[in-house]
Structure 1
């Protein structure tokens, strides 16, 4: 490439390495650097820009992880082959009309169900930025330990419980001890454990209030275990405590996602958190806090965990490393309130019959990742990456008349709303036909036929930037066509 590649502003507070990454990324997305184009060697670029070679190496590594560059040993680093671009559906329809042909209906059924080329289903984190060196070292170290002849302790390996408690003190402002931690096989197993305890404490068929819309898998999991669920409305600020009071029954527990309501994205104000705790105290009820996406707050200061406001033993916090690291490890935790001896005894009784399902080697590996600071460093890196991806979503979809964009104050997903169910269903079908997988917003309501809100939910963390940019272009074109229909 001739001429200066990137203009660096040495008076800016933005680090030069970040400027280099942003500049190269913009040139790829603008088409100034095309697939297959070689980029200068790290040594040559460092010399040309007056940077240390390590800064350029780090920038190239980041861009390779994001899918912009392709590196091969013994060969020049090149711009990666982007996801193939095809004619936008709106342009295709215009061409068809110009030729006198009728464009196919947007709601047409797909002729097949191919695997999506670009998977935007929510709940999938980016794993490309996990540093492989501490990751591999942690697993090697765990595998080199003496092989025990017993199952892992019922509540988990002591070192992991201590590291989780320390992590929560720093990340969530939650003062808890290792004795309060129960290691679980992800969020699902944690919910199953809570469901069995509810049945033990409150009766054979306990009542549970849940957010509506909310997490469908959690609702189905509780119902399969004999828990009667009662949907309570959630809006831009999260759970509606007034609607909770109007339920025809007083539930034994309430499940909420106060840090980042799923899927609408609101966060529960402190006043409402205190109101919910007061309700729980008045009715001797439990509050199950799913600390979903709390690590990735993009707007506004993080609010303290609901559990940190609880001094009466009402709140059980559920967390996991699925979004922080990867769902592949299936490792999560419960934080039990120290003051609730009845709950602790019920959990202990359940674990006496069912041993901790998380392999000891995995527990030791994650404990080492936490102790070494690798998890904390990864959260910092991932937060920057997700903020950048969020910016791509806003640039493509914000401000479309009739299709409000929401859910982006934190987390890894976004919501695009549409006027009616037919337009939403047609949008999901069209995107599937084009190789882009998204989820219908209506699926998140307990009774889908009763909702007045429609649209799609999609994740923006897992795909590469180039994949995301193409998918966002397809979503934008499909949304505009749906609104014009």
Structure 2
């Protein structure tokens, strides 16, 4: 018979929710197989009679017989008429008698990776909340998205294209969507784009990874805003680049630091329209200076225009790419913020000489974006629905920002000072009291509130303490409930 611990292992397999889709006999067979692989059942050891094991597990004898038959077919056990079932005498397999401790497995995992693989794994990746809760940043309102309209347009595409839309797509992106994107960024962002210069991707993060690997070599230097978007820094670090932090002021990136740097970098990354996370807008004279710097030294400007559609005060400034006559700027955009995250469509407007290399590179990552989603989005844009949706959301987000500002000043004035942005989907708040950033974030998390700390977005991790508060995905009523919870949590955390 099995030892008690072995029997409990088999019972655990039966009860494990992750195995619920497996038939009972498969769960029993897998559990016994794992006992053999782990060395918990020695070679030649007899197994319980099928009737006895069935009784112990509360299953039918036929179920155990089926499990034993599969183990026998796979060579894990021998079955002898009149004698029973035994663990097979396997000559080419030496079972691991002592399971690898978790920390040892982690060390082996790290040693099995390349230097770049270790850097990618060590970065932790970029993780998003599957079910967003206040005040997760960068998440748009999706509950009011015109789903019926989207479904109608999708049905139109399917009716027109038939099964051809189910085949592989153009790795550069479908021509209708590339044309719609070019028209949009030219009109709304002052870009210099044509359909043949647009590369449709799954996200802005994919665009950053492509830039890091296709434009720079490991060890090359890249200027990056400080503080900066964490996804960009992680992509550049994972590619083995040396990220050189450049400080900010109220007019955005301090371009003078780049001009004065004796060791030139091969690229600069910036979010000029709405700097992440400060919200600053890069001044025109600084944009022009960067363009001339890139042309003079044949370097690259990587411009992430991640949520420029949503501006609540003043007139939007033209994107850097549209001001660059030298074609040294890569313009990156995404529909994750403007429409919905599940769409998984972003894009890059590229200098002509980069279109073919970047398109070839993306075929090694994921081939192409889904044609049906691309064609539906193109129809959505061509019909004027995208513009209408942006205008509607801009009004809603402005109202929610006003609600957040008022509630923060009313309930959190003892702890934070809000920095009201002129655009975007989140508001930075600086801590003003004795409460540390880590304590504030942990206090919020205990009551179901998500805050992104500001200090970790700095290169040295020691920037001004505070956090980002996303507001776009939450109604004023939801914001008020969450603010009251957060205020209570912070007061409790502040007590000696």
Q: Distance in 2 between matches of 1:477 and 1:259?
A: 35
Task: Tell me: CA distance 1:474–1:150, structure 2 relative to 1, closer, same or farther (3 Å).
Answer: closer
- Alignment match, 2:405: 394
1:282 aligned residue (292, 296, 299): 296
1:447 aligned residue (457, 460, 474): 460
Cα deviation for residue 422 of structure 1 reads 5.0
Cα deviation for residue 139 of structure 1 reads 2.2
1:366-381 equivalence runs, <5 A: 366-381=377-392
- Alignment match, 1:142: 157
Q: Distance in 2 between matches of 1:398 and 1:269?
A: 29
Q: Which runs of 5+ in 1 are unaligned?
A: 1-113
Cα deviation for residue 397 of structure 1 reads 2.3
- Alignment match, 1:458: 469
Secondary structure at the counterpart of residue 176 of structure 1: coil
Secondary structure at the counterpart of residue 317 of structure 1: strand
1:236 aligned residue (250, 258, 261): 250
- Alignment match, 1:9: none
Cα deviation for residue 122 of structure 1 reads 0.6
1:54-104 per-residue CA deviation (whole Å, 9 max, x = no partner) reads xxxxxxxxxxxxxxxxxxxxxxxxxxxxxxxxxxxxxxxxxxxxxxxxxxx
- Alignment match, 1:382: 393
C-alpha contact 2:417 2:432 (8 A) present in aligned 1: no
Cα deviation for residue 403 of structure 1 reads 3.0
C-alpha contact 1:198 1:206 (8 A) present in aligned 2: no
1:145-190 per-residue CA deviation (whole Å, 9 max, x = no partner) reads 2323752112111111011111112221223210110000111111
- Alignment match, 1:155: 172
Cα deviation for residue 246 of structure 1 reads 4.2
1:129 aligned residue (132, 140, 144): 144
- Alignment match, 1:5: none
Cα deviation for residue 263 of structure 1 reads 0.5
Task: Tell me: CA distance 1:368–1:356, structure 2 relative to 1, closer, same or farther (3 Å).
Answer: farther
1:408 aligned residue (406, 421, 430): 421
Which deviates more from structure 2 when the two are superposed, residues 363-372 or residues 232-241? 232-241
Cα RMSD, aligned residues only: 2.5
1:222-261 equivalence runs, <5 A: 222-247=236-261, 249-261=263-275
1:185 aligned residue (202, 224, 232): 202
1:279-318 equivalence runs, <5 A: 279-318=293-332
Q: Distance in 1 between matches of 2:202 and 2:480?
A: 34
2:231 aligned residue (217, 220, 229): 217
1:172-219 per-residue CA deviation (whole Å, 9 max, x = no partner) reads 1223210110000111111112122113xxx44432111111111221
Task: Tell me: CA distance 1:205–1:420, structure 2 relative to 1, closer, same or farther (3 Å).
Answer: farther
1:58-97 equivalence runs, <5 A: none
Q: Distance in 2 between matches of 1:460 and 1:306?
A: 27
Q: Distance in 2 between matches of 1:484 and 1:406?
A: 26
Cα deviation for residue 127 of structure 1 reads 0.9
Which deviates more from structure 2 when the two are superposed, residues 470-479 or residues 223-232? 470-479
1:96-149 per-residue CA deviation (whole Å, 9 max, x = no partner) reads xxxxxxxxxxxxxxxxxx999943111111112211222111222333323237
- Alignment match, 1:358: 369
**Rg (Cα) greater in structure:** 2
Cα deviation for residue 352 of structure 1 reads 5.6
Does 1 or 2 have the higher relative contact order (CA < 8 Å, sep 6+)? 1
Secondary structure at the counterpart of residue 483 of structure 2: helix
- Alignment match, 1:424: 437
1:340-387 per-residue CA deviation (whole Å, 9 max, x = no partner) reads x2x334324424655643111111111111111111110010000000
Q: Distance in 2 between matches of 1:142 and 1:356?
A: 22
Q: Which runs of 5+ in 2 are unaligned?
A: 1-128
Give the alignment's TM-score, normalised by structure 1.
Answer: 0.70
